[in-house]
Amino acid sequence: MKRRVAILISGRGSNMAALIAAARAVDFPAEIVVVISNRADAGGLETAGASGIPTVVIESKPFGRDRAAFEAMLQRALDQHNVELICLAGFMRLFTEQFVQRWHGRMLNIHPSLLPSFPGLDPHGQALKAGVRISGATVHFVIPKTDAGPIVMQGAVAVAGDDTPDTLAARILEIEHRIYPEALRLLASGKVRLVGNVCRVSGNAASDAALISPAAG
């Protein structure tokens, strides 16, 4: 039985599109049953609709700072679609601790840095300012603290000397599109378990490919 997944978006939804594409595979252990946006003008809604995925808009702006009221409407939509897992894909709204705890171990997010480094806004600018040689993306479970949940999967790219935040973001986005579907596959297939604040993956085999930057002689 495939796990039923909701994707939450606020914008173009490029990671959403990657998840939808991956879920088309017959052997993928999850199905995308609904895409929910807190903005009616989110570009990803059209993409989802064109893919045959039901969409729901729950505008967050009218709720102001009343996050609990917004989440009550969101939870109602999730219940109506019998959602089991949530993937955040550029969803620009913070949750209350109560909502996060309700979905503990069942809600994923992706962040464009190698967490715990460079959480929050402008991770690419943070990485370049710090002078790191390697950056990347992280899929993690959502906890009340932003960008701090147990890490499910990471992917890395080398940082070039002439990189700008935009060029680095473009390369990392390709990594995001690769690792987010794979992280969902692991979770939906029951290969992920949480031990405290650490994610354990059964049958996990790390890649033996080394990424060294600058390239070693």
State the pLDDT at residue 213.
82
Pairing of strands 151-158, 198-201: unpaired
Our CA angle for 198, 83, 110, nearest 5°, is: 40
Domain boundaries 1-103, CATH class:
alpha beta
**Residue 139 CA: distances (Å) to CA of 56, 78, 107, 113, 142:** 24, 21, 10, 10, 9
Percentage, residues of the chain above pLDDT 70? 97
Residue type at 16 in one-letter notation? M
Give pLDDT tens digits for 85-129: 999 999 999 999 999 999 999 999 999 999 999 999 999 999 999
* Residues 6 or more apart whose Cβ sits within 8 Å of residue 153: 138, 139, 179, 182, 183, 186
Torsion of CA 37, 39, 43, 45, to 10 degrees: 40
Which member of 104, 111, 140, 177 is catalytic?
111
CB 101 within 8 A of CB 68: no
Helix (H), strand (E), coil (C) string for 29-89: CEEEEEEEECCCCCCHHHHHHHCCCCEEECCCHHHCCCHHHHHHHHHHHHHHCCCCEEEEE
Q: 10-62: per-residue pLDDT in tens?
A: 999 999 999 999 999 999 999 999 999 999 999 999 999 999 999 999 999 99
Segments making up each domain of the chain, as ranges: 1-103, 110-197
Question: Residues, the chain, total?
Answer: 217
The answer to whether domain 1-103 and domain 110-197 are alike in fold is yes
* Whether 177 is catalytic: no
Report the CATH fold assignment for 110-197.
Rossmann fold (3.40.50)
Task: Provide the residue type at 203 as one letter.
Answer: G
Distance (Å, rounded) from C-alpha 207 to C-alpha 97? 35
CA distance 179 to 177: 6
**Residues of the chain above pLDDT 90, percent:** 91
- Rounded Cα distance between 41 and 57, Å, is 9
Q: Which of 106, 25, 92 is nearest to 59 (CA)?
A: 92
